Structure 1
Amino acid sequence: MAIGGEWHVVVLLLLCTAFPAVRSDASDHKFKVGDPVPLYANKVGPFHNPSETYRYFDLPFCSPGNVKDKSEALGEVLNGDRLVSAPYKLDFLADKESEVICKKHLSKEEVAVFRSAVAKDYYFQMYYDDLPIWGFLGKVDKEGKADPSEYKYHLFKHLHFEIFYNKDRVIEINARTDPNALVDLTDDKEVDVEFVFSAKWKETNIEFDKRMEKYSHSSSLPRHLEIHWFSIINSCVTVLLLTGFLATILMRVLKNDFVKYAHDEEAADDQEETGWKYIHGDVFRFPKYKSLFAAALGSGTQLFTLTTFIFLLALVGVFYPYNRGALFTALVVIYALTSGIAGYTASSFYCQLEGTNWVRNLLLSGGLFCGPLFLTFCFLNTVAIAYHATAALPFGTIVVIFLIWALVTSPLLVLGGIAGKNSKAEFQAPVRTTKYPREIPPLPWYRSTVPQMAMAGFLPFSAIYIELYYIFASVWGHRIYTIYSILFIVFIILLIVTAFITVALTYFQLAAEDHEWWWRSFLCGGSTGLFIYSYCLYYYYARSDMSGFMQTSFFFGYMACVCYAFFLMLGAVGFRAALFFVRHIYRSIKCE
């Protein structure tokens, strides 16, 4: 009981720190006239490279003497947030008219730094009472100039804040720059700059509880909703066509097979069997590399559970716009807490396949997804460190993640594996397996694994590709995605199409007397992940303006991990559907 109590304490602590409310120093967000409202500068970076962000004061801005780092949760650090106290002083209901922050003398080197930032279209991000603020650092004057060497580079020096309030709460804030207050950075010469800001307070009737709704309006515009619903209709048509196709197979072809086999058993026992019944003695022969297969099934099942929980949290409103780091925190914590599912599923199925080295299977289950993810992280974190970007995780955060893995993920994986090993479940095969396998007849090229995977992945991908653009534009851009209900419907359609197409291809494989369907069904189910990665290439080169080694590495590195996760998850779904189908058809006939 003591051990169980300790585990409850660990889980409780994790859950308490998993979804911290995004709070300011004023915990209730209520202020009196003249009260200081927390304003934090977050980061700067190229607008088209969302992963390449730097600390605000990495640029030679006016730095207040008492710069304070804001304490951040795990998810905020993973998101690349590095909040520090901003130089602007915006007290509640205190209008300001062109107040000078500081007078700064920019050296030639500092002018070059700012010019490079303006040339790369740098933006800044701040938070005022947890409301996001954006703005650009400057502008490039290209008008009438064909030669880039003739461009003019200007830095904005006046920032005006427009703040809306309702009674004693801040509701909305906008920041705009004065187009006439510019500093010429074109030449390599020293410049004196006066950084100025002003503020204007306005009253509004918007309730405090609805102040974040404006950030989700862009994804709820009629034009965007129309595209989302078109995506769902397209997916539903795909499902209906595939369902009708499979219904034809199951209701006509299989029914005819059952009638024929029943007639053959009554009329002529010596008649030669053909088709899928002919291989009844081999269809449940255990696959090669059973330990790897069970580990892949366990990892895929865990990732499916993780995705389901993420959707549930999204549907109840946890991931509202600019709830900084909530998604990353949820991914880390839920993955850690669901590792027991991977251990149980892999170990239980491995023992059903008469495997003996369950410890090796458990280690394989734990490293099948975490291993490639860890190697990718090590490489990308090294790149971020070399760039001095905020995407580089501090040593303390890495220690926290390691402790979560060591104290939660690994023990739950082992406990799940022990429970799976002791479950004593037996593999339910409706027919006996012969001692020696039958030889698989020569098959045409299009019945081999790779063409079958291409066919299996295309239909599920076609059902989701319209929605993919909005997801990519949100994750790898600045578009806000909040229509999680539509995304959940698309996800359900993806699962259905994956299961159905895998069942159809498994039937055709068995009808061709190819009994090695285990790995084929998993690979065909997971092949959608390969199509998604192919879409990554299209999105990067045709739909985005991302550039540079760091951004390219982050995009293709982390998307490879995401697509690999989809491969394992959908592979597990495809295999489970195929296993259910194969058991059903062989249970419906009598086999010697």
Structure 2
Amino acid sequence: MRLSTTLLLLPAALVSVSEAFYIPGWSIRSYKDQDPIPLYTNKLTSPTTELPFAYAEQPFVVPVTHDGPGSKFGPRNIGLNLGEVLRGDRISVSDYELVMGKDIPCAYLGDREVNRNDVQKANRMVRDGYVVEWIVDNLPGATSFVTIDKSKRYYAAGFKLGTFENDEAYINNHVTLVLRWRNMPDHPGRKLIVAFEVYPKSVSGPKGKCPDNLETAKPLELVVPQGAESLTIPYTYSVYWKEDNSIDWANRWDLYFMNDEESVSIHWLAIINSVVIAMLLTIVVAIVMLRTLSRDIQKYNSISGPSSDAEAKADLEDAEDALEETGWKLVHGDVFRAPALGGLFAPLIGSGMQLIFVTLSLLVLSAVGILNPSYRGGFISFGLFLFIFAGFFSGYYSTRVYKTFKGDNWKKNALTTGLIFPGFLFATMFLLNLFVWAQASSTAIPVTTLIALGAMWLLISLPLVFIGSYLGFQREAWEHPTRTTQIARQIPPQPWYLRLIPSILIGGIIPFAVIFIELLFVFKSLWQDKSSYYYMFGFLGLITGVLILVVMEISVVMTYFMLCYENWGWWWRSFLVGGGSAVWVFVYSAWYYFTKLQVQGWTSGLLYFAYSALACAVYGVLLGTVGWVASYAFVRRIYGAIKAD
């Protein structure tokens, strides 16, 4: 009774704990009047290129002057977690002075002399639509929008570097910063920042001071004046504090996703579409399992059972008909025969188990709120660490499959498991990083970070793979319900839809139909918005569950059809059919690139297709493992239900 009561109270306790503190931001930051507040600069991103750049390192930006231990906010560069480094964040303290509650109509930041080459670079970045990301109190500076009916306000992270009109580029060298605050409950005199808005403007003014009139000042064109060798860009800013009690501190990120509420109906349409497809496929599987397959098993067992000579003679014709109807029974001596390239198959299954663990863990962490946009880089950091430590599961399940194939060199299998798939990922990232290095993008992974990643792989993940493999090899091999014959049965000619390529495409199109509506939002968040993917996890969690169910069912159906046509080579086929939707996802990514994106430059195009292919490979291995697990359980079940000689 005590145990059951504890289990019932556990969910309530978890909810109360999650409400007691703000996990990603770790704690609420409050300020009192006249407290200095740092403004951090991060990076420049563009929807037309996949190359972000560090804002503070640009030649047209005023460099930071107060740097070092003597400054108010410490050293210039801020320490980043691994996820922030990999996603291209480069956070630095700026010279913008923000003081809680103090309005600044206009303040002069500094001038920057820009030569012709740097002017051309700034001009090009403005033309490419680069967006600036600043941070105050862990909130990105936002461009504010209002819905058509003016009933709601919503934010888009970042603000334009400049404007491009009539084939002329203008840089936004003046910003009006609006910070919204509210009083902290139960703490008189303490204030919370609930919104950070940036209103950029291009103004031309005198050196060393603010323009006389910001409203009437002419914009500053990015052109070097005739007879001069450089362009002077003056930077100024204004700060205004506004009390806003309509925004709760815990919900201050909602405004960044408010514009996505209009697409909620489409998300639910995607879920309904997925559920309908899953239900139809479930009906098909139920018919196969409960009617056709069950009838075959009962009929064959009744004929194969003990009977008199007269009964046997009378049932001879029925027995021949039953054998003809149950073609899958004819391959009982080959169905558990080890597949070709089993030394590659087992490591792939192990890597798939590793990816399944990582994916489900990330969905759970996102659902409970540990991973959300205020924990910058948290999703990548957690995913990487989970992948490293899930090497244990990879080694364990890989060796269990390997031992099922009568393999005895578990160390070789463990080494293959620990190197082949992680090595493929690491080598691909390294090669792509060479192209990013050449462009001096902030997503270029530093050498020290690459060394750290390699050390995590070889010194942590690989030993865990060996530990898991050792424990898996100590377990007994999975027992199969039928014995394997010495001579393999010849596989007869197969129908066109059961051949390799058609079966993969047909088996992949149904899982793809489950997710293709939601894919539009996923691609938009990853390649265009680049910062608003957290709101999708609620929908992705539901669709992922349906997707796994559909992959399991389609793999079982295709395996059953293969066995009915006396094709016992289902091991690889179930894996490939399960991951077949990855082919359609890659085709969809190509369609999205040519129809939705306006990516410029061959480097950005290369990065897009390379990262898309890499993601599809991970997706394919994960779902391929799901398909194989379902098919393996199905085959063991049906052959364990018959009375084979």
**Are the counterparts in 2 of residues 132 and 322 from structure 1 also a CA contact under 8 Å?**
no
- How many angstroms does 1:395 deviate by? 2.3
C-alpha deviations, 1:383-412, integer Å up to 9, x for none?
111111110112222232223223321111
3-state SS of 2:62 partner: coil
In the TM superposition, 1:484-523 aligns within 5 A as: 484-523=537-576
Q: 1:452 aligns with which of 498, 503, 506?
A: 503
3-state SS of 2:98 partner: coil
Instruction: Call closer, same or farther: CA 1:69–1:119 in 2, change over 3 Å.
Output: same
Corresponding position: 1:420 with 2:472: yes
> Matched residues in 2 for 1:574 and 1:526: separation?
7
Deviating beyond 4 angstroms after TM superposition, the runs of 4 or more aligned structure 1 residues are 19-23, 186-189, 268-272
Q: 2:361 aligns with which of 295, 300, 309?
A: 309
**Are the counterparts in 1 of residues 47 and 527 from structure 2 also a CA contact under 8 Å?**
no
Tell me the residue number matched to 1:277: 329
Tell me the residue number matched to 1:182: 219
**Are the counterparts in 2 of residues 105 and 192 from structure 1 also a CA contact under 8 Å?**
yes
3-state SS of 2:175 partner: strand
- How many angstroms does 1:506 deviate by? 0.7
**Are the counterparts in 1 of residues 83 and 379 from structure 2 also a CA contact under 8 Å?**
yes
Q: Which runs of 5+ in 1 are unaligned?
A: 1-18, 143-150
Corresponding position: 1:376 with 2:428: yes
**Are the counterparts in 2 of residues 159 and 178 from structure 1 also a CA contact under 8 Å?**
yes
- How many angstroms does 1:264 deviate by? 3.2
**Are the counterparts in 2 of residues 34 and 93 from structure 1 also a CA contact under 8 Å?**
yes
- How many angstroms does 1:41 deviate by? 0.8
In the TM superposition, 1:365-404 aligns within 5 A as: 365-404=417-456
Q: 1:583 aligns with which of 633, 636, 642?
A: 636
**Are the counterparts in 1 of residues 119 and 231 from structure 2 also a CA contact under 8 Å?**
yes
Tell me the residue number matched to 2:11: none
> Matched residues in 2 for 1:447 and 1:396: separation?
49
Tell me the residue number matched to 1:92: 100
- How many angstroms does 1:565 deviate by? 1.2
Tell me the residue number matched to 1:5: none
3-state SS of 1:184 partner: coil
- How many angstroms does 1:305 deviate by? 0.7
Tell me the residue number matched to 2:386: 334
Q: Which is further off, 153-162 or 541-550?
A: 541-550
> Matched residues in 2 for 1:568 and 1:243: separation?
23
**Are the counterparts in 1 of residues 50 and 608 from structure 2 also a CA contact under 8 Å?**
no
Q: 2:512 aligns with which of 461, 471, 475?
A: 461
What is the identity percentage for the equivalent residue pairs of Structure 1 and Structure 2? 30
Corresponding position: 1:192 with 2:243: no
C-alpha deviations, 1:419-438, integer Å up to 9, x for none?
11111x22221122222111
Tell me the residue number matched to 2:66: 66
> Matched residues in 2 for 1:351 and 1:120: separation?
55
Tell me the residue number matched to 2:617: 564
C-alpha deviations, 1:25-59, integer Å up to 9, x for none?
xx752222222101111112434324433443323
> Matched residues in 2 for 1:55 and 1:380: separation?
22
Instruction: Call closer, same or farther: CA 1:502–1:443 in 2, change over 3 Å.
Output: same
Tell me the residue number matched to 2:376: 324
> Matched residues in 1 for 2:547 and 2:195: separation?
38
**Are the counterparts in 2 of residues 123 and 135 from structure 1 also a CA contact under 8 Å?**
yes
Amino acid at match of 1:540: Y
- How many angstroms does 1:112 deviate by? 2.1
Q: 1:244 aligns with which of 283, 288, 292?
A: 283
- How many angstroms does 1:186 deviate by? 4.2
Instruction: Call closer, same or farther: CA 1:193–1:426 in 2, change over 3 Å.
Output: closer
**Are the counterparts in 1 of residues 44 and 53 from structure 2 also a CA contact under 8 Å?**
yes
Corresponding position: 1:76 with 2:84: yes
**Are the counterparts in 2 of residues 62 and 102 from structure 1 also a CA contact under 8 Å?**
yes
Corresponding position: 1:164 with 2:180: yes
Tell me the residue number matched to 1:48: 48
Tell me the residue number matched to 1:352: 404
**Are the counterparts in 1 of residues 65 and 95 from structure 2 also a CA contact under 8 Å?**
no
Q: 2:264 aligns with which of 225, 228, 253?
A: 225
- How many angstroms does 1:106 deviate by? 3.2
3-state SS of 1:483 partner: helix
**Are the counterparts in 2 of residues 156 and 181 from structure 1 also a CA contact under 8 Å?**
no
Instruction: Call closer, same or farther: CA 1:497–1:34 in 2, change over 3 Å.
Output: same
> Matched residues in 2 for 1:532 and 1:441: separation?
32
- How many angstroms does 1:269 deviate by? 6.2
C-alpha deviations, 1:122-181, integer Å up to 9, x for none?
221110111101211211112xxxxxxxx2221222211111111322111100123655
> Matched residues in 1 for 2:389 and 2:517: separation?
32
> Matched residues in 2 for 1:359 and 1:297: separation?
17
> Matched residues in 1 for 2:495 and 2:250: separation?
63
**Are the counterparts in 2 of residues 43 and 125 from structure 1 also a CA contact under 8 Å?**
yes
**Are the counterparts in 1 of residues 47 and 130 from structure 2 also a CA contact under 8 Å?**
yes
Instruction: Call closer, same or farther: CA 1:55–1:105 in 2, change over 3 Å.
Output: closer
RMSD: 2.0
Tell me the residue number matched to 1:12: none
- How many angstroms does 1:369 deviate by? 1.6
> Matched residues in 2 for 1:188 and 1:579: separation?
73
**Are the counterparts in 2 of residues 522 and 574 from structure 1 also a CA contact under 8 Å?**
yes
Amino acid at match of 2:193: V
Amino acid at match of 1:173: F
3-state SS of 1:428 partner: coil
> Matched residues in 1 for 2:88 and 2:62: separation?
22
Amino acid at match of 2:161: L
- How many angstroms does 1:216 deviate by? 2.8
TM-score by length of 1: 0.90
Amino acid at match of 2:244: T
Amino acid at match of 1:505: M
**Are the counterparts in 1 of residues 52 and 88 from structure 2 also a CA contact under 8 Å?**
no
**Are the counterparts in 2 of residues 352 and 427 from structure 1 also a CA contact under 8 Å?**
yes
3-state SS of 2:44 partner: strand
C-alpha deviations, 1:286-332, integer Å up to 9, x for none?
21222211111111111111101001101011222242100110111
3-state SS of 1:193 partner: strand
Amino acid at match of 1:113: K
- How many angstroms does 1:589 deviate by? 1.5
**Are the counterparts in 2 of residues 118 and 138 from structure 1 also a CA contact under 8 Å?**
yes
Q: Which runs of 5+ in 2 are unaligned?
A: 1-21, 68-75, 142-157, 184-190, 203-216
Q: 1:207 aligns with which of 244, 248, 254?
A: 248
Instruction: Call closer, same or farther: CA 1:533–1:322 in 2, change over 3 Å.
Output: farther
> Matched residues in 2 for 1:184 and 1:564: separation?
46
- How many angstroms does 1:256 deviate by? 2.8
Amino acid at match of 1:57: E
> Matched residues in 2 for 1:84 and 1:328: separation?
21
Tell me the residue number matched to 2:484: 433
Tell me the residue number matched to 2:148: none
> Matched residues in 2 for 1:297 and 1:471: separation?
26
> Matched residues in 1 for 2:114 and 2:428: separation?
40
3-state SS of 1:200 partner: strand
Amino acid at match of 1:224: S
